[in-house]
Amino acid sequence: MNFSDSLKKNYDFKNVYKKGKSYANRYLVMYVLENNTDRNRLGISVSKKVGNSVVRHRVTRLVRESYRLHENIFNSGLDIVVVARNNASSASYADIESALLHLGKLHHILKIFFY
């Protein structure tokens, strides 16, 4: 992730959950909050309800990779938390990528809109 850092601290996640705006679709929930810097910070949360550790790590990798490939079209200066839903365990990469871009469009945080 060239332009982004990771959210790692629990209080950072809680701050985004509490003060950020959220939208959801079939596979993901996205919370977004401005962080007053020139970089994005991405946090990914996958609950044990989604599956065992192999499944959870696969979903995490899919979300991280789809964000990494499209991070140049996201606006900067944002804290973004992506929460995987149960349906994400059986989703393909194309499904996760489409869901992430859809949520970015709903939040109006994409520089380029896909139709």
Please write the tens of the pLDDT for every residue from 45-60: 999 999 999 999 999 9
* Single pTM value for the model: 0.92
Q: What is the pLDDT of residue 21?
A: 96
Distance CA 64, CA 6 (A): 10
Domain boundaries 4-107, corresponding CATH code = 3.30.230.10
Which tokens belong to 103? 């949520």
pLDDT band at 112 (very low <50, low <70, confident <90, very high): confident
Please write the tens of the pLDDT for every residue from 71-94: 899 998 999 999 999 999 999 999
Q: Which long-range contacts (CB under 8 A, 24 or more apart) does 91-94 make?
A: 91/27, 91/59, 91/62, 93/62, 93/65, 93/66
Q: Where are the domains of the chain?
A: 4-107
